[in-house]
Every structure is written in C-alpha cells, then in structure tokens.
Amino acid sequence: MAIASDAFIPDLIQLSAMTQPTIESILQEDRVFSPPAEFSKTAHIGSFEAYQGLYDKANADPVAFWEELADKELDWFEKWDTVLDWQPPFVKWFEGGKLNISYNCLDRHLKTWRRNKAAIIWEGEPGDSRTLTYAQLHREVCQFANVLKGLGVKKGDVVGIYMPMIPEAAIAMLACARIGAPHTVVFGGFSAEALRDRLVDGKAKLVVTADGGFRKDKTIALKQEVDKALENDGAPTVENVLVVQRTKEDIHMDSRRDHWWHELQKDASADCPPEPMDSEDMLFILYTSGSTGKPKGVVHTTAGYNLYTHMTTKWIFDLKDDDVYWCTADVGWITGHSYIVYGPLSNGATSLMYEGVPRPSNPGCLWDIVEKYGVNIFYTAPTAIRALIKLGEHLPNARDLSSLRLLGTVGEPINPEAWMWYHRVIGKERCPIIDTWWQTETGGVMITPLPGATPTKPGSATLPFPGILADIVDLEGNPVDDTSGGYLVVKHPWPGMMRTVYGDPDRFRRTYWEHIPPKDGQYLYFAGDGAHKDKDGYFWVMGRVDDVISVAGHRLGTMEIESALVSHPAVAEAAVVGRPDEIKGEEIFAFITLEADVEPSDALKNELKQHVTGEIGAIARPGEIRFSDALPKTRSGKIMRRLLRSLASGQEVSGDTSTLEDRSVLDKLRSGA
C-alpha cells in the first residue's frame, strides 16, 4: 500500500472562478469602500495616515515598537531583560520577563469597573444561556485550577481539552494557563483516533471533556470518543479525565480515572494565585495539518502571544468598552484561542460564545443571537457567509441587526460576491468589513484592514498589520514587485509567531524556513499561501500552494486523508485533491486504486467515506470518490496531482502531460472507468 506524494510545492494552484475570482478580475477590482466617517471618528486608528504612521514606526524599529506596547498594554510581574533574541529560525521575545496570561485576562480587570462586566455571554444550542462576569469567571478559573492541581497537574504538564462550545472550555484553558500547564485543545469534531494521536504526541497528563455537546439538533458523544482514544492504554500518559455534564446522556465513568467536573469544582478553593510564567514558557500546543505526515503541534508561548493577540484584537476589532463582540469560531481552532478567549479577555471585552451552528430547525439562529444580545462586532468564515446567502436574505431581513458596527471574515479567501452580500445584507452598507489573513502558526491576524483607517476592496485582505513585514516573493526569495504573484512570506519576527513544532524543531525549520532561502541574510517565514499584490500594494491571498486543502475553512492535509484511506484493507493507493465547492470553498475528492481482488461498488465508496470519518472526523469525509485502475504518474513514479485537480473539477486537462508514464490512464480517469 502506498501513499501518493509528489513535489512539495506544486505550481501556484489557481482556484476556480466558481468560488474564486480570476487573477485578472481581482487585479482590476475597482470597487473601493472607504471607512465610514462616523466609524473613523471614534476608532483606535482613525485614518490611513495614522495606520501608515504606525506601520512606518514599527518598520523603522520593530523592537522598540513592540517593547513600548508590551510596557503599556500588559501587566508584568517582572519586566524583561531583552526584547528580541532572534537566532533564525528560533525566536525569543521579552526574555527574563514574568507574567501570567490568565492574570492579564482576568485579575487585572477585577481592580476596575469591569469586575462586574460580562466577560463571557454564552448561548447553548437548545436555547439555554449563561453570562459570566469577570469576577465570576475569575472564580471559576481559580477553582478549576485547584481541581487540576488536586489531580496532580503541575507546571509544564500538558492537558488535553476536548469540549463542546461551552464556557467550561474557556475556563479550562484559562485554568491551565494560570498554573502553567500548557493546553492542547482538540476540536470536538475530531474522531477518537485523531484525539489519541494528539494526546500521545503531546504526552497529555489529563483530559478535560464533556459527556457530549449539542450540534445541528443532535448530540455529539464526546466522552465516548475519549474512552475509545484511551482504550487499551491508547494514550498511556493520561492519568485522569474530567467530565462536564452537558447533555446528561448516559456515559460510562471509570471510577479510577474519570471525575465529574461539577463534583470536584464545587468544593475547590477559589484562591489560586497565578503562576509567574517566563515569557517564553509554553502556553499551548495546537495541532494543525501540513503537507506531509501527521498534524504538527504548533507551539505558542506566553508573552509574545499575549501581546500579539491583545494588540490585534484591540486595533482590528476596534474594541470599545460597551461592545458585545462575537466570533463564531470553535475554541478547537486558533481563531477560537486568539479571538474568543485570549485576545478579547485580555482587553476586558465581552466575548459571546455560541454552542451551535445554523441548522434546519433554526436557520436564522445567528441573526436571532445578534438581535437578542445586541451584537456589535461579528466575525465569521466565508464558508458560513456563503451558506447564509443560500438560506436567503429574508432571514437576516426579519431581524434587527442595527447593533452591528463591524464585520469580519477569516479562514479562507472570500469571493467578492460573498463580500458584497455581507456588506449589503448584513452590514446594511454602513459596517466596515475586515478580511483577516492569518494562520495557526502566526498566532494572530497578519494582513487585514484596520476598520477606521483602511479603504477596503471586496476579496482583498488589504495590508499588513503594523510590525508585520509581509511580502510576496519567488522561490529564490526575490520580491515580486509587479502584480504577477508569488509566495507569501514574512521578513521579520513578530511576537505572536509559533516557536517550534512540538518535539520536532527540525520539522519547524524544514517546513517554514527552508523552501525559500534567506535573502541578503534575512530569513523569510514561508506561509504556504500564494498571493498577488495589486497596483495599490494590496494583498490578495489566493490559497495554499502546498498539499493542504481548506474544506469549509478547516485545514486538512491531503496526505492525512490518503493515509486514512490506505489504512482500509480494500485500498491499494489513494490520491486526494481539493475540488472547488460553491459553499465550502473546497471539497475533498479522492482517487482510489483498489486491491486486485476487490470489486468497486457504491457501497464500498460509502464504507470508505465512513472509514475516513472514523480515522479523522466528519470534516475529512470525502465528498466524492472515484475508483481507477491506476493513477497518473510521472516516469519517476510521482502522482501528477495537477491533472487530478483538473479532472476533479471537471476541467479540461491542460498544460504539459509529456512526463506522464501511461497516457491511457488519463483517458480512463476522464471517463470514470
């Protein structure tokens, strides 16, 4: 059994015109939306000149720029000795400093009027709700930190968090941060297998979960997946499991290992001083997909991440004290870490958390929530916007959305039509839209409009955040100064950047720093995205240039899915590509060669789709499978993915096919035989 793999960086992939504009059309986009004057008047950064001033200041002396902000915006137990220690590709920020991010997110607000301000407003899918003030959240976090300590969790021990979108997920994260136990949050939609891989790689000592959660009118049985992940000593480092009671469904509790959250929490002391953490102490590991191998553990540390998420939240979302801010992401992804939990709470904001998603029984639920809580700032993914467009304008039009003042998108390129719909139907042509480009690795937003300052164009993430030296280069690292496009890179370290791949510094170096060589002694962070700059210097991010695909904004490695497929006994060889999808951006298309004695059938296709769901999770389930006698390969045995991508999207196979070993394979694939 073989896993298909080919050259690491294929040609820049052009996404189809169905969800993506063509390069020609974007570079001619002439719709420009200036920040509304009313908005700019009160914005933190209220003019383009102000943005440029900050950008130039940061560019001239990035170290002084970040040092000034660290001093002004965060609370420290001890100040740093050095601001930046850059030994490429390894970076340290604010070495010698001591702080605790849970202190910055909680304790410091208790000394102010924010003590009784809502920190988290939570809405459950069945319609239940809860509000936690800063004082209440602080108490819960301290108690839970003591629960963790009581179960032997010490500074440096990794804690797995596998939760639905309930306040306890944020409480668990902050409690870990308080005692210096790095968390690794695993998205609740991942399967037991995927959870086990992450717990094993992270050497997690304890897992926090729930009996289940509510999603799309159903319950998801999380504890059952944890049991499966841990059976037969699957993750031997895990000693205890803490279980929140959410759905109240029957679950198995192993008395030697499993504990109910509410039973331990109620007797725990609310006195838990924050652990003074070194700036570079690990805050969390978050697994994300890459081109090769298993998902990698992206490591973020304390001070740089705290500062970067704090500043980006403040300036990009233009937070005001009475704002209700809502990011619809799940805490299982980086967006949830940075922009539901750490960034907003560090700023003393009110962060809304929702357990569910739009579903047949309540397709207008997002707009109900905007109306119910008077949401001012709304941040979601293009996939969600496209799905909402399909559901119809009558749903938002039937609700009062007048509280909204700022809209954001993240996770994938947004097509101009979706952007215009968002602007017109949701923003009523008065809310700025921020299209924010960033990654798990970058910790926070990197390229984005500042809503009171930057004129926007539908489909462009516009310009870099102050302090971010982003550029577009060719494979030799030469800047591409015209509009022809190239690879997105960052030229100077920034505080929120990932520090390493957990347990594999070589992989960190290989993946991000070696594809493009240093230019004039300057190391270039390789993001893995293709991008163009237009005549105004605006960035247009086109999507991944490696074997990573984005399905409904979820990042998946084609090789992970191929590995899952070939682990099924019927499969001899598999190659997975992304096919453009009107709503999800991309859909998974798998080409499969079966073992000699296996008959192709629709039942087998379904079985294989189910198999991938079991191995990774429903987000990785192929939309379509095509069986084939053989896959198109070069004479040296590499799968020609470019051809498969064309076939999957129903396009004529164009370009050079002279290196193809057996041309008849292509004809058979075309006919689906």
Q: How far apart (Å, rounded) are the C-alpha atoms in residues 132 and 128?
A: 14
Residue closer to ligand PRX by CB (options 143, 383) is: 383
Note whether 438 binds ligand PRX by CB under 6 A: yes
Note whether 437 binds ligand PRX by CB under 6 A: yes
Q: In the range 248-307, which residues lie near ligand PRX by CB under 6 A?
A: 288
Among 104, 292, 309, 440, binds ligand PRX (CB under 6 A): 440
Q: Which helix (H) or strand (E) holds 324?
A: strand 324-327
Q: How far apart (Å, rounded) are the C-alpha atoms in residues 363 and 372?
A: 15
**Per-residue DSSP letter, 453:** T
Among 461, 472, 576, 647, binds ligand PRX (CB under 6 A): 461
Q: What 3-state DSSP class applies to 184?
A: strand
- Taking the C-alpha atoms of 380, 386, 388 and 389 in order, what is their torsion angle to the nearest 10 degrees? 140
Q: How far is the CB of 648 from ligand PRX (least distance, A)?
A: 19
Residue closer to ligand PRX by CB (options 335, 376) is: 335
Among 21, 212, 411, 632, binds ligand PRX (CB under 6 A): 411
Q: How far apart (Å, rounded) are the C-alpha atoms in residues 271 and 264?
A: 15
Residue carrying structure tokens 């196979």: 653
Q: How far apart (Å, rounded) are the C-alpha atoms in residues 496 and 326?
A: 22
Residue closer to ligand PRX by CB (options 187, 354) is: 187
Residue closer to ligand PRX by CB (options 288, 328) is: 288
Residue closer to ligand PRX by CB (options 76, 333) is: 333
What residues contact residue 512 under an 8 Å CB cut-off, 6+ apart? 89, 441, 525, 526
Stretch that binds ligand PRX, among 167-175, 313-321, 438-446, 589-597 (CB under 6 A): 438-446
Among 123, 197, 318, 412, binds ligand PRX (CB under 6 A): 412
Residue closer to ligand PRX by CB (options 261, 540) is: 540
Among 133, 240, 380, 436, binds ligand PRX (CB under 6 A): 436
Q: How far apart (Å, rounded) are the C-alpha atoms in residues 259 and 459?
A: 48
Please classify residue 600 by burial: count the beta carbons closer than 10 Å to its beta carbon, then call 0-12 exposed, 13-18 middle and 19+ buried. middle
Please give the size of the binding site for ligand PRX, defined by CB under 6 A.
22
Residue closer to ligand PRX by CB (options 144, 190) is: 190
Strand 90-95 to strand 82-87: parallel, antiparallel, or no bridges (unpaired)?
antiparallel
Q: In the range 168-187, which residues lie near ligand PRX by CB under 6 A?
A: none
Q: How far is the CB of 532 from ligand PRX (least distance, A)?
A: 12
Q: How far is the CB of 124 from ligand PRX (least distance, A)?
A: 25
User: What count of other Cβ atoms lies within 10 Å of the Cβ of residue 224?
Assistant: 16
Residue closer to ligand PRX by CB (options 425, 527) is: 527
Residue closer to ligand PRX by CB (options 377, 631) is: 377
Q: How far is the CB of 539 from ligand PRX (least distance, A)?
A: 9
Strand 277-278 to strand 258-260: parallel, antiparallel, or no bridges (unpaired)?
unpaired
Among 301, 346, 380, 439, binds ligand PRX (CB under 6 A): 439
Note whether 332 binds ligand PRX by CB under 6 A: no
Q: How far is the CB of 90 from ligand PRX (least distance, A)?
A: 20
Among 35, 164, 408, 543, binds ligand PRX (CB under 6 A): 543
Q: How far apart (Å, rounded) are the C-alpha atoms in residues 415 and 19?
A: 6
Residue closer to ligand PRX by CB (options 230, 286) is: 286
**Per-residue DSSP letter, 415:** P
Angle of helix 222-230 versus helix 192-202 axis, rounded to 10: 60
Burial of 254-287, coded b for 16+ CB within 10 Å and e otherwise, reads eeeebbebeebbeebeeebebbebbbbbbbbbbb
User: DSSP readout, 499-560?
Assistant: -EETT-HHHHHHHHHSSS--BTTB--EEEEEEEEE-TT--EEEEEESSSEEEETTEEEEHHH
Q: What string marks each residue from 18 to 37 as x (binds ligand PRX by CB under 6 A) or -?
A: --------------------
Note whether 435 binds ligand PRX by CB under 6 A: yes
Q: What string marks each residue from 354 to 393 as x (binds ligand PRX by CB under 6 A) or -?
A: ----------------------------------------
Q: In the range 510-539, which residues lie near ligand PRX by CB under 6 A?
A: 527-529
Note whether 149 binds ligand PRX by CB under 6 A: no
Q: How far apart (Å, rounded) are the C-alpha atoms in residues 242 and 152?
A: 13
Tell me the residue nearest to ligand PRX as measured from the CB: 440
Stretch that binds ligand PRX, among 26-34, 104-112, 406-414, 499-507 (CB under 6 A): 406-414
For residue 342, what are the CA distances in angstroms to 110, 345, 457? Answer: 16, 5, 29
Among 173, 307, 334, 604, binds ligand PRX (CB under 6 A): 334
Note whether 201 binds ligand PRX by CB under 6 A: no
Q: How far is the CB of 438 from ligand PRX (least distance, A)?
A: 5
What residues contact residue 620 under an 8 Å CB cut-off, 6+ apart? 551, 556, 560, 561, 564, 588, 612, 613
Yes or no: say if 153 and 200 are a contact pair by the CB < 8 Å rule: no
Residue closer to ligand PRX by CB (options 94, 378) is: 378
Q: In the range 621-660, which residues lie near ligand PRX by CB under 6 A?
A: none
Note whether 93 binds ligand PRX by CB under 6 A: no
Yes or no: say if 405 and 378 are a contact pair by the CB < 8 Å rule: no
**β partners of residue 287:** 297
- The residue ranges that bind ligand PRX (CB under 6 A) are 288, 334-335, 410-413, 435-440, 461, 527-529, 541, 543-544, 550, 555
